[in-house]
Chains A and B, each alone.
Chain A
Amino acid sequence: MKEWTKLALIVAAFLAAYFIPWDHPVIRQSGLESFMMLQEYAREHVLTCLIPAFFIAGAIAVFVSQASVLKYFGAAANKILSYSVASVSGTVLAVCSCTVLPLFAGIYTRGAGIGPATAFLYSGPAINVLAIVLTAKVLGWKLGLARAVGAVVFSVIAGLLMAFIYRKDDANRTAGAIYMPDENDKSRALWQDALYMLTMVLILVFAAWAKPVPREGGLWAAIFTIKWYVTVALLIALAIMLMTWFKKEELVNWLDATWGFMKQIFPLLFAGVLVAGFLLGRPGHEALIPERFIAALVGGNSVWANLFASVSGALMYFATLTEVPILQGLIGSGMGQGPALSLLLAGPALSLPSMITLAGIMGVRKTVVYCIIVVVLSTVTGMAYGWLVR
């Protein structure tokens, strides 16, 4: 950080402290809301949802071989395969948004070309484990599922469109050597790795099992009453697996990766929740921005509301996972389900900074075309979803 930036920050903080009317009822209410929202996350989502999800993300980063996925992005790879792999590989490759752009650049310049590269770029941020899990937990499984499915399906369409529009350019790309990450040597069979991952996913599912609604009986309620027993049993099973199947070094790497994600994501999410709470408040509670503004702009399911949501989502920068509390606030203030999905699809895939980087990689015109495709597809998907769940 330059000295001037530091000074500017301190001056800005001073001016905010000096001039903001902190004892105005609206500001008081907003400040209270921001901490109430933080508490809601701390109580409801951190222990049962985020912590297990971080361990899963860490395990994916360490134990799933990237090379086995990346080979489908080579220049000679089968086209149908590279599109399908590109649209779902975000679960494995894109746990951190900082890996998406370098990989995109590689696939675009040396690998399977602009089509699969854009497919990966569009779906990657939306379908990583942390994003799906937190979206489903906080915003409801319908929106979580719609986000994952929408991202996968529309990434293929976006990729095919880009490949079709720029089919001539693609033929002229410079060929050259490709270097993939090394295959790490394995001491376990595939089923052992699969069982280990599955156990962790089940721990997440049971620990996060929601309290049944009173009138909803049967299996759901029955599982809820035994959920902690099941979770503990699964934890014991996991501990046995870790002790017998894994080398000490592997466990250290796993913890390292998990800790890395936590360090990177928790502070951002912390700030994101505070800001979302301050501006928008928890569902049902008014904060700084009046609910009627939100409802007027992105309420209902009109073309305009969806378009506005996807355009503003495309321009805004969301740090990993912060889109979730922000959307929670927006939906609570009257945003429609359709526009919410539009924003979820366009938001993390694009931002003003990432557009600038993209323009550096593939040129301004292609970037503009890509942004238009993303905005249009997100709007259409949002409308279709809003119409479905109406």
Chain B
Amino acid sequence: MEIKILGPGCAKCYQVEKLVKEALAETGTDAAVEHVTDFKKIASYGVFGTPSVVVDGKVKSVGKIPKKEEIKTWIGK
């Protein structure tokens, strides 16, 4: 699995990264986490707001800090 966190390096973005990593550790899931800070790349996903989370190429959340439970459902399968 491949998880991308889109965010230009704001505090909220790091919070999301931390949550994602915690969710992965708690569920014992193996995934490559990447923090995308390049604006061009962020824009190429079509997201109107950061931080955003992309799981396997699919945009899961935009412009907010998702709850850990939510993240677990995205990585569940």
Interface residues of A (CB under 8 A from B): 66, 70, 73, 96, 98-99, 101-103, 105-111, 176-182, 260, 264, 357, 360-361
User: Do A73 and B10 form a contact, CB below 8 Å, given A102-B42, A105-B39, A105-B43?
Assistant: no
Considering the complex of A and B, which 7 residue pairs feature the smallest CB-CB distances, nearest first? A181-B63, A105-B43, A109-B43, A106-B48, A179-B59, A102-B50, A110-B46
B9 proximity list for chain A (CB < 8 A): 98
- Quick one: which of A96, A260, A360 contacts B39, CB cutoff 8 A? A360
**How many angstroms from the CA of A83 to the CA of B42 in the assembled complex?**
23
**How many angstroms from the CA of A14 to the CA of B45 in the assembled complex?**
47
Main secondary structure of the interface of B (DSSP, over half): loop
B43–A179 touching, CB < 8 Å? no
A103–B44 touching, CB < 8 Å? no
**How many angstroms from the CA of A176 to the CA of B44 in the assembled complex?**
9
**How many angstroms from the CA of A101 to the CA of B13 in the assembled complex?**
15
- Quick one: which of B7, B11, B40, B47 contacts A179, CB cutoff 8 A? B47
In the assembled complex, B33 has its CB within 8 A of some CB on chain A: no
In the assembled complex, B64 has its CB within 8 A of some CB on chain A: yes
**How many angstroms from the CA of A179 to the CA of B55 in the assembled complex?**
14
B49 proximity list for chain A (CB < 8 A): 66, 70, 99, 102-103, 106, 180-181
**How many angstroms from the CA of A109 to the CA of B63 in the assembled complex?**
17
B61–A182 touching, CB < 8 Å? yes
B8 proximity list for chain A (CB < 8 A): 98, 101-102
The minimal Cβ–Cβ distance linking A362 to chain B, given in whole angstroms, is 9
A357 proximity list for chain B (CB < 8 A): 39
User: Do A108 and B11 form a contact, CB below 8 Å, given A66-B49, A99-B50, A180-B49?
Assistant: no
- Quick one: which of A98, A107, A109 contacts B44, CB cutoff 8 A? A109
Q: Using A179-B52, A181-B63 as known contacts, list a sample of 15 further A-B pairs with CB atoms less than 8 Å apart, ordered by residue number in A.
A: A66-B49, A98-B8, A99-B50, A102-B39, A102-B42, A103-B49, A106-B42, A109-B43, A111-B48, A177-B59, A178-B48, A179-B47, A180-B62, A182-B61, A360-B38
Contact with A along B35-73 (1 / 0, CB 8 A): 000111011111111101000000101111000000000
User: Do A105 and B40 form a contact, CB below 8 Å, given A178-B48, A181-B48?
Assistant: yes
User: Do A101 and B64 form a contact, CB below 8 Å, given A106-B47, A264-B11?
Assistant: no
The minimal Cβ–Cβ distance linking A71 to chain B, given in whole angstroms, is 9
A180 proximity list for chain B (CB < 8 A): 48-49, 62-63
**How many angstroms from the CA of A1 to the CA of B55 in the assembled complex?**
30
Residues of B in contact with A, size category: 20 to 34
- Quick one: which of B10, B43, B50 contacts A108, CB cutoff 8 A? B43
**How many angstroms from the CA of A106 to the CA of B46 in the assembled complex?**
6
B39–A179 touching, CB < 8 Å? no
- Quick one: which of B40, B43, B46, B62 contacts A182, CB cutoff 8 A? B62
User: Do A361 and B43 form a contact, CB below 8 Å, given A98-B8, A101-B8?
Assistant: yes
A361 proximity list for chain B (CB < 8 A): 39-40, 43
A182 proximity list for chain B (CB < 8 A): 61-62, 64
**How many angstroms from the CA of A81 to the CA of B73 in the assembled complex?**
38
Chain A's closest residue to B61 (CB) is: A182
- Quick one: which of A73, A105, A107 contacts B42, CB cutoff 8 A? A105
The minimal Cβ–Cβ distance linking B31 to chain A, given in whole angstroms, is 20
B10 proximity list for chain A (CB < 8 A): 96, 98
B44 proximity list for chain A (CB < 8 A): 109
Interchain Cβ contacts under 8 Å between A and B, 6 examples: A70-B49, A106-B43, A110-B43, A110-B46, A179-B46, A180-B48
B64 proximity list for chain A (CB < 8 A): 181-182
**How many angstroms from the CA of A98 to the CA of B52 in the assembled complex?**
14
User: Do A360 and B40 form a contact, CB below 8 Å, given A98-B10, A101-B8, A182-B61?
Assistant: yes
The minimal Cβ–Cβ distance linking A24 to chain B, given in whole angstroms, is 40
**How many angstroms from the CA of A123 to the CA of B11 in the assembled complex?**
24
**How many angstroms from the CA of A102 to the CA of B50 in the assembled complex?**
7
B48 proximity list for chain A (CB < 8 A): 70, 73, 103, 106-107, 111, 178-181
The minimal Cβ–Cβ distance linking B56 to chain A, given in whole angstroms, is 15
